Structure 1
């Protein structure tokens, strides 16, 4: 359960923004989307390697 403490006179929009940020950090939506379709472990590993190679290429291009 996510609790967002409100200060006296704090705007409701600001509190809602805090709630959305905390909710996104929990990763519930990401996990829900991942569970909608099964991905084989070999494909998961391949995607992780591709992401790592992409990040590495970006870092090398930056230097």
Structure 2
């Protein structure tokens, strides 16, 4: 659980923004998503390879 100290007279929107930034930086969102459902190691590896191929295609197109 993340705690954000809100000072007297501080806008709630600003405090929410700080909370969201802290949440994103901590990687809690990614961790929640990975724990939500189990993915077999072979599926994880396949996704990594697909992503690598896609990035390589983009880099090749950029150089051409």
TM-score, normalization by structure 1? 0.72
Instruction: Note the C-alpha offset of 1:57.
Output: 0.9
Count of residues in correspondence between the two structures: 63
Q: Deviation per CA, 1:16-58, whole angstroms, max 9, x where unpaired?
A: 2122111112111221121121111111111101101111111
* Equivalence for 1:36: 36
Q: Relative to 1, partners in 2 of residues 1:11 and 1:46: Cα closer, same or farther, differing over 3 Å?
A: same
Q: How many Å separate the matches in 1 of 2:61 and 2:9?
A: 48
Runs of 4+ in 1 over 6 A off after TM superposition: 5-9
Per the normalisation by structure 2, the TM-score is 0.71
Structure 2's unaligned 5+ residue stretches are: none
